[in-house]
Chains A and B, each alone.
Chain A
Amino acid sequence: MNLVLENLSKQFRGTGRAVTAVNGIDLTAAEGEFLVLVGPSGCGKSTVLNLVAGLERPDSGSVRCGGQVFASAEDHVFLPPGDRNVAMVFQSYALYPHMTVFENVAFPLRVSGKKLADIAPAVREAARMLNIESILTRRPAELSGGQRQRVAIARALVRRPSVFLLDEPLSNLDAQLRTSTRGELKRLQGGSRHYHSIRHSRPD
């Protein structure tokens, strides 16, 4: 399943002026490919991720994954984020502060209607992969930056997404954590699962 962005454009209407964030971009990510978008801040990287995730609607062009059309401006198709099986890790991790780590990771499964009996093993599997089994009962406020990021990744992984998006995953970490996280992401990506990840970071 390839991820194809075709002639994708998005404009934002601010007060008065219109800003073109993404201008007719064409992009193809093959299955299992680890794609990195690099560029200075403000060049539209987050917007591309948002378009793939379904948090924004394209003004023109289309986003396709495999045979499925996620969004197409010309054909007036728009699949909401929940139906796309796309997972995203935000720059600020966006962990739900009132839930424990376990509940955070379990949330995507819970809202898709899975039974509790099915949820627990999946959560534990994701926790094992990210090495966060020991903190499952803690709240996000009690965690360090590196731990939060791993929880966010676990939450994204637990749904077995077909597309895996990471928004500036390294910018909040210190130098040492950055190196080890890069390694971990490579390790996860090299696993048996087929998924794409678009990751972008500023040139270090």
Chain B
Amino acid sequence: MNKRSVAIFASEASVLCFCLAPFLYMLATALSSTGAAYLSPRGALHPTFLPAFLPTLEHFRSILLSPTLHFPRYLLNSVGISLLAALFSVAVAAPAAYALTRMHVPGAQILMFVVLSLSMFPAVSLVSSLFRFMTRLGWINTWQALVLPYVAWSMPLALWTLVSYFQQIPMELDRAALVDGASRFQALRFILLPMAAPGVFSTGLLAFIFAFNEFLYALMLTTDSTARTMPVAIALFEGLHGEIPWGEIMAAAVVATAPVVLLTIVFQQRIVQGLTRGAVKE
């Protein structure tokens, strides 16, 4: 093995290490029987490091089955809200993207830029008024209180991404479909949508991940503990007894991140495609 391949392997190993170490650490802590005690830095390399590490599921059991915590409920909230947000974002953005690319909309470019810059507002600037607004509607602690702002936030990005996907579909196919006798709707359904399906899916996926991971709105718009989403639950988790129960916190973290990590691993190509659409123009 020559020097170059050693260097390459070392680099790759360090990249993997960089990306996965905290995550693996989270997993290890969640599974360890002694909580985090085996990691206490008492002097040099702890001689009882390995024997102390007996994988156990007790942390998972205690957080999932505890009657005072509501982790399954939080997971349900998170998944449900994110799913709805993703669906609505795409449902609104897709026809708009179609209209912008396929029909002559005056000032389309300006509209797109305005819409995009709207999604760059700092969340904190909007959240106080959103709170007042939601309180007035009586929507605090409901799913719609979160779904609507999430849609409003991710729809511009979805629009931008979908426009880019739609632009890649040659206009000539539309015209061929028209000459073949298809109505606009039939053209959309039989030609455009099937071709755009991967792009639509990627966009929805990104919207889901964003909604799932969102923190500030979820924090401020829920006051009841059963209405929380996973990220908020993790952040506010103080544990049942005095000392910080790292084992349980990390177990909760694993449960919280499992859905998105799984999605990312399975659909990583789609995700990368969706993310880079806007930045790199071919």
Contact = CB atoms under 8 A, between A and B. Distances in A.
Query: When A and B assemble into the complex, do they touch directly, with CB atoms less than 8 Å apart?
Result: yes
Interface of A: 53-55, 80-83, 86-88, 90, 92, 94, 96-98, 107-108, 110-112, 155, 159
Given A88-B176, A94-B175, A111 B194 contact: no
Contact of A159 (B172, B178, B181): B181
13 contacts: A55-B175, A81-B179, A82-B178, A82-B180, A82-B181, A82-B183, A86-B179, A87-B180, A88-B176, A94-B170, A94-B172, A96-B173, A111-B190
Contact of A88 (B170, B173, B179): B179
A48 B194 CA distance: 31
Contacts of B194: 98
B195 interface: yes
Interface of B: 170, 172-173, 175-183, 186, 190-191, 194-195
Given A111-B186, A111-B190, A81 B178 contact: yes
Nearest to A111: B182
A54 B183 CA distance: 13
A108 B180 contact: yes
B195 A97 contact: yes
A112 B181 contact: yes
Given A94-B172, A94-B173, A55 B178 contact: yes
A69 B240 CA distance: 81
A107 B195 contact: no
B179 A111 contact: no
A186 to B, nearest CB: 23
Given A96-B191, A107-B190, A111-B186, A54 B173 contact: no
B66 to A, nearest CB: 50
B162 to A, nearest CB: 17
A167 B70 CA distance: 66
